[in-house]
């Protein structure tokens, strides 16, 4: 926070503030120290939710909530404890700009089609046999796949396999809500009927670094599903070179038509932290939500150690110091609000210039296990 001034405690100042609040007015001289921090001071906190907790709660949810009963998705979202105060009905987002959830779809279930002005990213964590149907195209999902559902496109989910299927959803709900841009519409029927061959966009892009000539000016990511094998191969190619000192071996999912982020408002990365690697600490304006796709290790965030393993989720808030350490070869999937920060020209970064570039660990985070 900026400096508070002693005069704010004086009775005549307090009386005046209360007086003008009665006219829906406020004194700027009090707002400035509270709002204009020297550097970002997000209310979102560093936090971690374990795989066990999410699976336990989703399995409990399966007993009481079905898409048929509620007409909605069976998704449990991450409420950042630093943001729970913001809305009286209990909503709290995961970071100040981003929402993330884990969704469970059981064999035979259908999550009804709808469309909305928020964009969605999905990362497949468990199972196979479910599809998402986007604008009439069924896109079958497997572990490690990354999917983009751009805003305003019809989408629903169905499951024709025989095992439970789970994935991470990430949306820009808090950003769109706070700027007053929310639109939502249910599909007239329960779910769309297929209008295209299954996995159509993936087949169109099976050539890799070439695009169909009709996609030259695509603003919306024309590739809906980024298959795990391709991501893994891309990272394997990087492994022949030196890692990034802060992020290890990291790739970003892009829109193959324009080279921009796969979705305009949210970035998504996959990074490999090799066994024994200890990154340097840095901080940046943007916030990040991680899912541990494979491996185990820990991340130090503002001096607190967060141990993680496959299936866990954790949050790095804006401008928080962080460094990653892997105890086995690890893959971390993440979603960030870097595109938002860049659109406002707000992105900055800083390397830790102390202690050989690493933080001192002051405590360990104790998560709910489940
Ligand atoms: Fe949706
Ligand atoms: Fe970082």
Q: In this predicted model, what pLDDT tens digit does every residue of 218-248 receive, in sequence order?
A: 777 788 999 999 999 999 999 999 999 999 9
pLDDT number for residue 239: 94
Name beta bridge partners: 169: 101, 122
Domain count, the chain: 1
Task: Name which of 134, 132, 130 is nearest 152 in CA terms.
Answer: 134
CA 354 / ligand 2 centre spacing (Å): 17
What beta strand segments (E) does 14-72 contain? Answer: 47-49
What tokens were used for 327?
């105890």
CA 319 / ligand 2 centre spacing (Å): 9
Which of residues 280 and 68 earns the better pLDDT score? Answer: 280
pLDDT number for residue 2: 44
Residue-wise DSSP of 230-262: HHHHHHHHHTTSPPBTTTBEEEE-B-TTTSSBS
Quote the CA–CA distance of 75 and 168 in Å, as a whole number: 9
CA 111 / ligand 1 centre spacing (Å): 9
- Asked if residue 37 is part of any domain, the answer here is no
CA 298 / ligand 2 centre spacing (Å): 14
- Asked if residue 20 is part of any domain, the answer here is no
- Asked if residue 172 is part of any domain, the answer here is yes
Domain ranges, residue 178? 47-364
pLDDT number for residue 293: 98
- Name the least confident of 62-71, 109-118, 168-177, 261-270: 62-71
Residue given tokens 């979102």 in the structure block: 44
Dihedral sign, Cα of residue 304, residue 48, residue 52, residue 252: negative
CA 136 / ligand 2 centre spacing (Å): 37
pLDDT number for residue 1: 42
CA 322 / ligand 2 centre spacing (Å): 7
- Nearest ligand to the CA atom of 154: 1
Residue given tokens 């550097």 in the structure block: 39
CA 120 / ligand 1 centre spacing (Å): 7
pLDDT number for residue 275: 98
pLDDT tens digits, residue range 23-48?
A: 999 999 888 888 899 999 999 999 99
Query: What is the number of H-type helices and E-type strands within the chain?
Result: 8, 23
What tokens were used for 281?
């600490």
CA 338 / ligand 2 centre spacing (Å): 11
pLDDT number for residue 88: 62
CA 115 / ligand 1 centre spacing (Å): 6
- Asked if residue 9 is part of any domain, the answer here is no
- Asked if residue 31 is part of any domain, the answer here is no
- Name the least confident of 42-46, 82-86, 195-199, 266-270: 82-86
CA 320 / ligand 2 centre spacing (Å): 9
pLDDT number for residue 4: 63
DSSP state of 183: -
Work out the pLDDT band at 203, boundaries 50, 70, 90. very high
Which residues 6+ apart lie within 8 Å of 225 measured at CB?
139, 141, 145, 146, 147, 199, 201, 202
CA 257 / ligand 2 centre spacing (Å): 26
The stretch 333-354 carries a mean pLDDT of 97
The stretch 72-86 carries a mean pLDDT of 91
pLDDT number for residue 127: 95
- Asked if residue 25 is part of any domain, the answer here is no
Predicted confidence (pLDDT) at residue 201 exceeds the cutoff of 80 = yes
Task: Name which of 268, 274, 259 is nearest 221 in CA terms.
Answer: 259
CA 278 / ligand 2 centre spacing (Å): 13
- Nearest ligand to the CA atom of 72: 1
pLDDT number for residue 24: 97
Supply the pTM of this predicted model.
0.95
Burial 305-326 (b: 16+ CB within 10 A, else e): ebbbbebbbbbbbbbbbbbbbb
CA 190 / ligand 2 centre spacing (Å): 41
- Nearest ligand to the CA atom of 73: 1
- Asked if residue 234 is part of any domain, the answer here is yes
Dihedral sign, Cα of residue 84, residue 37, residue 12, residue 24: negative
Q: What angle do CA 303, 306, 311 make, to 5 degrees?
A: 155
N-terminal to C-terminal alpha carbon distance within the chain: 36
- Asked if residue 346 is part of any domain, the answer here is yes
pLDDT number for residue 210: 84
CA 224 / ligand 1 centre spacing (Å): 15
Q: Is 336 helix (H, G, I), strand (E, B) or coil?
A: strand
CA 129 / ligand 1 centre spacing (Å): 19
CATH of the domain at 187: 2.60.120.10
pLDDT tens digits, residue range 82-94?
A: 998 766 677 899 9
- Nearest ligand to the CA atom of 301: 2
- Name the least confident of 137-151, 218-232, 235-249, 283-297: 218-232
């Amino acid at each position: 926070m900026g400096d508070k001034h002693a005069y704010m405690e004086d009775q005549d100042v307090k009386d005046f503030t209360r007086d003008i609040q009665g006219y829906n007015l406020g004194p700027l001289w009090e707002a400035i120290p509270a709002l204009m921090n020297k550097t970002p001071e997000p209310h979102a906190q560093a936090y971690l939710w374990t795989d066990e907790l999410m699976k336990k709660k989703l399995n409990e949810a399966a007993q009481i909530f079905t898409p048929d009963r509620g007409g909605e998705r069976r998704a449990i979202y991450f409420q950042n404890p630093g943001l729970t105060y913001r809305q009286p009905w209990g909503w709290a987002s995961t970071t100040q700009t981003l929402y993330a959830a884990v969704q469970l779809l059981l064999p035979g279930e259908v999550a009804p089609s709808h469309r909305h002005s928020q964009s969605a990213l999905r990362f497949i964590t468990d199972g196979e046999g479910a599809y998402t149907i986007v604008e009439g195209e069924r896109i079958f999902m497997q572990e490690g796949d990354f999917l983009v559902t751009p805003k305003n496109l019809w989408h629903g989910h169905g499951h024709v396999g025989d095992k439970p299927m789970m994935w991470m959803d990430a949306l820009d709900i808090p950003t769109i809500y706070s700027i007053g841009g929310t639109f939502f519409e249910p599909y007239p029927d329960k779910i769309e009927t297929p209008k295209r061959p299954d996995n159509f966009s993936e087949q169109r892009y099976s050539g890799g670094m070439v695009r169909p000539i009709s996609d030259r000016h695509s603003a919306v990511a024309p590739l809906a599903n980024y298959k795990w094998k391709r991501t893994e191969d891309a990272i394997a190619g990087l492994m022949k070179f030196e890692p990034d000192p802060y992020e290890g071996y990291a790739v970003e999912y892009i829109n193959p038509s324009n080279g921009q982020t796969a979705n305009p408002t949210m970035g998504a990365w996959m990074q490999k932290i090799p066994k024994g690697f200890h990154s340097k600490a840095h901080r940046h304006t943007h916030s990040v939500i991680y899912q541990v796709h494979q491996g185990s290790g820990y991340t130090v965030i503002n001096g607190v150690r967060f141990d993680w393993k496959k299936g866990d989720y954790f949050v790095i808030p804006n401008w928080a110091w962080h460094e990653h350490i892997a105890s086995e070869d690890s893959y971390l999937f993440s979603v960030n609000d870097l595109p938002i920060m860049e659109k406002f020209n707000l992105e900055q970064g800083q390397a830790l210039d102390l202690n050989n570039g690493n933080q001192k660990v002051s405590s360990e985070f104790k998560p709910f296990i489940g």
